[in-house]
């Protein structure tokens, strides 16, 4: 029987949706497996189909891509600030007065949600900036275009903890809380959040190897170590390299500071109110630490996740350093 969310869809989408495998959802009653990945809600599924049918990529477009809870907010802010650095003064910057999800908008959660034809005529100066969690193979015209994709990935240990936290903050009360054990089991089965997580990451990883001029891959942990270095990579990749004068004037450092967790978390605009799907902005900023998983995982969970990573990523060339090392009492 169709549930409430499914009933809201127009007939065109309902039929396809009802033919898809479905599971209990993370942030809605159900989620749906479409083209091999999990759409978090029926509405998101509809938006993805709209996006695939109607979005026309331009070679000049820049797309920030990620799995949820991998550093999307951060990379959006860095990309927006880099591309627009000549338009805005750093002390009076839109990132200080707008949540960055309103400045770099998601296709599936925002632009195409309840809208087959978003208006790109205003507020989208070239290069247009977009964001998505959709896996690479399902990106429609973007795949065939020459546009630039910047992808951020985070070690699955911390991504999972961050995701579990966020989901429990975001679930409707009627669905109750999701226990750590159940959430972990589903995550490891690859159910949920535009995953399986390994397929989403590996799709962009292999594309970045095949087409390095079009897909640039970041690791959250590397960015935490040296954000200025990675900001330079980003700027060069999107053809926005900084002049010597800008470098000498510390523009990289200014942007890094503007987009830092400490700056963004403290902003009034990020403390209250909601962004896409009525999710609370303040839930976007938790700890931003590398290695926080160790406060949640049992030794059994660590073993299962490590084996899974070995099985799925082994041979791909993509590795995840487990930080921190295992606690002594686990040995």
Quote the least distance from Cβ 327 to ligand A3P, whole Å: 19
CB 296 within 8 A of CB 157: no
Q: Is 102 in the site for ligand A3P (CB under 6 A)?
A: no
Among 33, 60, 260, 306, binds ligand A3P (CB under 6 A): 260
How many Cβ atoms from other residues are within 10 Å of residue 6's Cβ?
A: 19
The residue among 112 and 157 lying less far from ligand A3P, judged by its C-beta, is: 157
Residue 101 has phi, psi (to 5 degrees) of -75, -15
The one catalytic residue in 30, 93, 133, 230 is: 133
User: Residue 20 is encoded by which pair of tokens?
Assistant: 């898809």
The 8 Å CB, 24+ separation contacts for 293-298 are 293/155, 293/157, 293/158, 293/160, 293/161, 294/324, 294/327, 295/161, 296/161, 296/164, 296/180, 297/157, 297/161
CA 211 to chain centroid, in Å, comes to: 21
Cα–Cα distance measured from residue 331 to residue 319, given in angstroms and rounded to the nearest whole number: 23
The residue among 57 and 100 lying less far from ligand A3P, judged by its C-beta, is: 100
Q: Is 264 in the site for ligand A3P (CB under 6 A)?
A: yes
Q: Is 22 in the site for ligand A3P (CB under 6 A)?
A: no
Quote the least distance from Cβ 132 to ligand A3P, whole Å: 12
The residue among 69 and 312 lying less far from ligand A3P, judged by its C-beta, is: 69
- The stretch among 4-12, 123-131, 208-216, 260-268 that binds ligand A3P (CB under 6 A) is 260-268
The residue among 60 and 263 lying less far from ligand A3P, judged by its C-beta, is: 263
Cα–Cα distance measured from residue 121 to residue 98, given in angstroms and rounded to the nearest whole number: 20
Q: Is 318 in the site for ligand A3P (CB under 6 A)?
A: no
Is 133 among the catalytic positions? yes
Quote the least distance from Cβ 128 to ligand A3P, whole Å: 20
CB 276 within 8 A of CB 101: yes
Among 44, 46, 50, 66, binds ligand A3P (CB under 6 A): 66
User: Residue 168 is encoded by which pair of tokens?
Assistant: 């429990």
User: Residue 77 is encoded by which pair of tokens?
Assistant: 């802010």
Quote the least distance from Cβ 49 to ligand A3P, whole Å: 23
Distances (CA, A) of 325 to 70, 292, 328: 21, 12, 9
- The stretch among 17-25, 65-73, 119-127, 184-192 that binds ligand A3P (CB under 6 A) is 65-73
Q: Is 168 in the site for ligand A3P (CB under 6 A)?
A: no
Q: Is 270 in the site for ligand A3P (CB under 6 A)?
A: no
- The stretch among 68-76, 117-125, 183-191, 194-202 that binds ligand A3P (CB under 6 A) is 68-76
22 beta partners: 32
CB 64 within 8 A of CB 76: yes
Within the chain, strands assigned E span 22-24, 30-34, 37-39, 62-66, 105-106, 129-132, 148-153, 215-219
The residue among 88 and 261 lying less far from ligand A3P, judged by its C-beta, is: 261
Among 70, 79, 145, 208, binds ligand A3P (CB under 6 A): 70
User: Residue 37 is encoded by which pair of tokens?
Assistant: 């990945």
CB 113 within 8 A of CB 5: no
Q: Is 284 in the site for ligand A3P (CB under 6 A)?
A: yes
The residue among 47 and 259 lying less far from ligand A3P, judged by its C-beta, is: 259
The residue among 52 and 72 lying less far from ligand A3P, judged by its C-beta, is: 72
Q: Using CB under 6 A, list all residues that contact ligand A3P.
A: 66, 68-74, 158, 162, 165, 259-261, 264, 284-288, 292
* Residue positions annotated with a catalytic role: 133
């Amino acid at each position: 029987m169709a549930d409430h969310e499914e009933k809201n869809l127009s007939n065109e989408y309902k039929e396809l949706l009802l033919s898809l495998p479905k599971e209990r959802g993370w942030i809605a009653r159900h989620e749906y497996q479409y083209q091999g990945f999990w759409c978090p809600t029926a509405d998101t599924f509809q938006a993805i189909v709209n996006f695939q049918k109607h979005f026309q990529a331009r070679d000049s477009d820049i797309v920030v891509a990620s799995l949820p809870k991998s550093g999307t907010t951060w990379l959006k802010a860095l990309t927006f600030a880099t591309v627009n650095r000549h338009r805005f003064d750093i002390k009076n910057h839109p990132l200080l007065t707008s949540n960055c999800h309103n400045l770099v908008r998601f296709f599936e959660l925002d632009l195409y949600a309840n809208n087959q034809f978003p208006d790109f005529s205003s507020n989208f100066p070239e290069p247009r900036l977009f964001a998505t969690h959709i896996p690479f193979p399902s990106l429609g015209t973007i795949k065939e275009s020459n546009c630039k994709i910047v992808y951020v990935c985070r070690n699955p240990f911390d991504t999972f903890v961050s995701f579990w936290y966020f989901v429990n903050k975001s679930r409707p009360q009627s669905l109750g809380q999701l226990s750590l054990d159940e959430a972990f089991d589903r995550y490891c089965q690859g159910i949920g959040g535009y995953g399986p997580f390994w397929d989403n990451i590996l799709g962009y990883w292999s594309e970045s190897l095949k087409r390095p001029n079009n897909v640039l891959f970041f690791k959250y942990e590397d960015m935490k170590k040296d954000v200025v270095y990675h900001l330079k990579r980003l700027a060069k990749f999107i053809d926005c390299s900084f002049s010597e004068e800008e470098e000498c004037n510390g523009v990289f450092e200014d942007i890094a500071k503007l987009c830092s967790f400490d700056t963004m978390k403290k902003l009034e605009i990020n403390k209250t109110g909601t962004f896409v799907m009525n999710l609370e902005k303040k839930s976007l900023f938790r700890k931003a630490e590398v290695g926080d998983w160790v406060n949640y995982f049992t030794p059994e969970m660590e073993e299962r996740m490590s084996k899974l990573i070995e099985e799925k990523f082994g041979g791909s060339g993509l590795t995840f350093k487990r930080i921190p090392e295992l606690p002594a009492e686990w040995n």
